């Protein structure tokens, strides 16, 4: 048994509960305490190290400006993640303006090989690709960092925008309309992207997590 | 005896349905869409009947919801579990300089 962060001090020995000192924002300490966490959060969604570094930097700069409004309400990390979310969405919007999605754009692999090509069972699952029983519940998977590694690695081969659409929808739970607006795509486009991402990810997780 | 006949009939009905209904390839696309919009009555009936006959597509549906539930449960704290490196030393120093210059 070991404590990764050390035993916590009783609350009375820290700041007054739920309050941080208002007068002195300390960006250096923010960077030490939350820099890595925010970076991992951003890189998981943006799938690009440079973009994630920029988003983290912009978050701290915005946090310095907005410090007065924060006034020590709630957790510092939650507050910073809230700002980072906006910076991530800003990045998607910018990226879309710089490289609009063409008609013939790549929405991800179709994975036709998952299904029989010829009669009598054309269009039905092929044995090697048919889903199996996972015998798993969300509660078992959530805290397994190796599951998240497989999850993350399985998203990597997808086109960036398809992976982004999938993360915005399935991890962050945004509505279809919001995602279409952010990525500047039509809803039919989004449905195709999500379908292909799910088809790919489900198979990849089964191969790399449940069968290995 | 009657049970055997019933099983045979059930099997025949399932087989016939599988051949008549939309295929698995078409069904998995509908399953995905059902997570985005409400399906029409006809789509819903086809999906229900297909799922009744096809354990594979049942698992497919189950897995998509399992992935969604797992991913969303910890969306804000997901960085706790996502492995991988934090900021590189270069990036950390660059951000530190930028934040100090700001003051």
pLDDT at A23: 58
> Could you say which of 1.10.1740.10, 3.40.50.2020, 3.30.540.10, 3.30.470.30 is the CATH number of the domain covering A16-98?
1.10.1740.10
Under-70 pLDDT residues of chain A: 1-24, 71-72, 100-105
The residues spanned by each domain of chain A are 16-98, 113-210
DSSP secondary structure of A18-66: T---SS---HHHHHHHHHHHHHHHHHHHH--HHHHHHHHHHHHHHHHHT
CATH T-level topology, domain A113-210: Arc Repressor Mutant, subunit A (1.10.10)
Q: Which residues pair with A115 in a beta bridge?
A: A125
CB atoms within 10 A of CB A198: 24
- Work out the average pLDDT over B20-38: 95
Contacts with A168 (C-beta within 8 Å, 6 or more apart), sequence order:
A45, A174, A178, A179, A182, A183
Place of tokens 């924060």: A70
Give phi and psi for A125, each to the nearest 5: -55, 140
CB atoms within 10 A of CB A82: 14
What's the whole-model pTM score?
Answer: 0.82
| H helical segments located in chain A | 27-46, 49-65, 67-70, 76-98, 138-142, 145-155, 160-166, 176-183, 187-205
Q: Running DSSP on this structure, what letter comes out for residue A12?
A: G
pLDDT at A203: 97
| pLDDT tens for each residue of B62-89 | 999 999 998 888 666 656 666 667 888 8
Q: Do B82 and A37 touch (CB under 8 A)?
A: no
Q: What token pair was written down for A52?
A: 């994630």
Task: Name the residue among B60, B75, B99 with its Cβ closest to that of A202.
Answer: B60
Q: Do A122 and B28 touch (CB under 8 A)?
A: no
Chain B residue whose CA is closest to A55: B95
Task: Report percent pLDDT > 70 for chain B.
Answer: 86
Q: Which residues between 43 and 72 in chain B have a beta carbon less than 8 angstroms from any beta carbon of chain A?
A: 56-57, 59-60, 62-64, 66-72
Q: Do A35 and B29 touch (CB under 8 A)?
A: no
CB of B82 closer than 8 Å to CB of A148: yes
Chain A residue whose CA is closest to B73: A142
| pLDDT tens for each residue of A22-66 | 556 788 888 988 999 999 889 888 888 999 999 999 999 999 888
Contacts with B83 (C-beta within 8 Å, 6 or more apart), sequence order:
A145, A146, A148, A149, A152
Q: B101 — contact with chain A (CB < 8 Å)? A: no
Residues of B within 8 A of A176 (CB-CB) are 36-37
Considering only A3-12, A72-81, B19-28, B31-40, which range has the smallest mean pLDDT?
A3-12
- Work out the average pLDDT over B31-58: 95
CB of A80 closer than 8 Å to CB of A38: yes
State CA B18 to chain mean position distance: 21
State CA A117 to chain mean position distance: 35
Interface probe with A: pick from B99, B100, B102, B103, most Cβ of A within 10 Å: B99
């Amino acid at each position: 048994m070991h404590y990764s962060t050390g035993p916590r001090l009783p609350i009375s020995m820290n700041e007054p509960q739920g309050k941080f000192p208002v007068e002195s924002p300390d960006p250096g300490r923010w960077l030490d305490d939350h820099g890595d966490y925010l970076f991992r959060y951003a890189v998981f969604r943006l799938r690009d190290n440079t973009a994630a570094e920029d988003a983290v930097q912009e978050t701290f700069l915005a946090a310095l400006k907005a410090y007065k409004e924060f006034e020590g309400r709630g957790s510092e990390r939650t507050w910073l993640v809230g700002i980072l979310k906006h910076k991530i969405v800003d990045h998607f919007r910018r990226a879309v303006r710089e490289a609009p999605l063409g008609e013939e754009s790549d929405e991800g692999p179709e994975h036709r090989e998952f299904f029989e090509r010829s009669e009598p069972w054309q269009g039905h699952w092929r044995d090697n690709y048919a889903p199996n029983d996972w015998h798993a519940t969300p509660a078992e998977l959530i805290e397994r960092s190796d599951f998240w590694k497989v999850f993350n690695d399985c998203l990597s081969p997808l086109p960036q925008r398809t992976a982004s659409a999938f993360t915005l929808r399935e991890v962050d739970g945004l509505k279809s309309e919001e995602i279409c607006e952010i990525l500047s795509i039509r809803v039919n486009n989004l449905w195709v992207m999500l379908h292909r991402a799910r088809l790919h990810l489900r198979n990849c997780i089964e191969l790399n997590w449940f069968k290995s | 005896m009657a049970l055997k006949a019933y099983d045979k009939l059930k099997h025949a009905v399932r087989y016939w349905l599988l051949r008549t209904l939309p295929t698995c390839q078409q069904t998995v696309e509908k399953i995905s869409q059902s997570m985005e919009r409400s399906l029409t009555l006809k789509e819903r009936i086809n999906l229900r009947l297909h799922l009744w006959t096809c354990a594979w597509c049942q698992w497919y549906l189950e897995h998509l919801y399992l992935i969604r539930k797992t991913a969303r449960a910890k969306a804000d704290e997901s960085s706790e579990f996502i492995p991988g490196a934090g900021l590189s030393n270069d990036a950390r120093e660059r951000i530190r300089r930028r934040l100090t210059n700001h003051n």
